[in-house]
Amino acid sequence: MKATVKEENNPRGASVIERLSEEVFTRYARWDSASVTMYLRLGGKVFVAYNGEEVLGGAFLRKLTDELWELTMIGVFPDYRMRGVGKAIMRKILESVRGEIYLHVSVDNSPAIKLYEDFGFLKVKRISRFYSTGEDAYLMVLKRTPRRPEKESDVRG
């Protein structure tokens, strides 16, 4: 399936995250579009995967600093899974965001853990009873080379 992933830091993107939250992440914290919009104003990003007009899935990242991001959610609607959509979303995220990315994932969520490991995320810690359901989570981090400080001569202009 051809998935085109677009950055959608706008109401349309926020509503896709709300839909994913309702349909895919029913066991975890809910994200409504108003909360997503608030984080977009703080520099967060939303990515949406399309096949034509059809929405396949998406991702939401919160920005802590230019060099540190949280991958808060990535999800593909059930009908479109196992066809490379998750990977396409992840590739687009890594093209668009610099710096380190961290996330939490349930220790039982092997499809997601496999996806993250394929892209270089490492498990750094197991957190007991992280979720309200009582499940443990892994904290996973993707370390990337920080942007080199700009040369003084470039800054002075």
Ligand X SMILES: CC(C)(COP(=O)(O)OP(=O)(O)OC[C@H]1O[C@@H](n2cnc3c(N)ncnc32)[C@H](O)[C@@H]1OP(=O)(O)O)[C@@H](O)C(=O)NCCC(=O)NCCS
User: Phi, psi at residue 25, to the nearest 5°?
Assistant: -110, 45
CB of 146 to ligand X, least distance (A): 25
Tally Cβ neighbours within 10 Å of residue 52.
7
Residue 75 binding ligand X, by CB under 6 A: yes
**Exactly one of 19, 81, 91, 144 binds ligand X (CB under 6 A); which one?**
81
Instruction: Select from 124, 135, 51, 38 the least CA-distant residue to 89.
Output: 51
Residue facing ligand X at closest CB distance? 86
- What is the distance between the alpha carbons of residues 101 and 143, in angstroms, rounded to a whole number? 7
Question: Is 5 strand, coil or helix?
Answer: strand
Sign, Cα dihedral of 25, 31, 33, 38: negative
Q: Which is nearer to ligand X, 87 or 123 (CB)?
A: 87
Strands 68-76 and 100-106: parallel
85 CA to centre of own chain: 13
Which listed range, 60-68, 113-121, 123-131, 136-144, lies at the site for ligand X (CB under 6 A)? Answer: 113-121
Residue 137 binding ligand X, by CB under 6 A: no
Which listed range, 9-17, 31-39, 93-101, 105-113, lies at the site for ligand X (CB under 6 A)? Answer: 105-113
| Largest Cα span, the chain | 54
**Exactly one of 73, 137, 140, 142 binds ligand X (CB under 6 A); which one?**
73
**Exactly one of 6, 10, 29, 111 binds ligand X (CB under 6 A); which one?**
111
Residue 48 binding ligand X, by CB under 6 A: no
**Exactly one of 2, 27, 114, 147 binds ligand X (CB under 6 A); which one?**
114
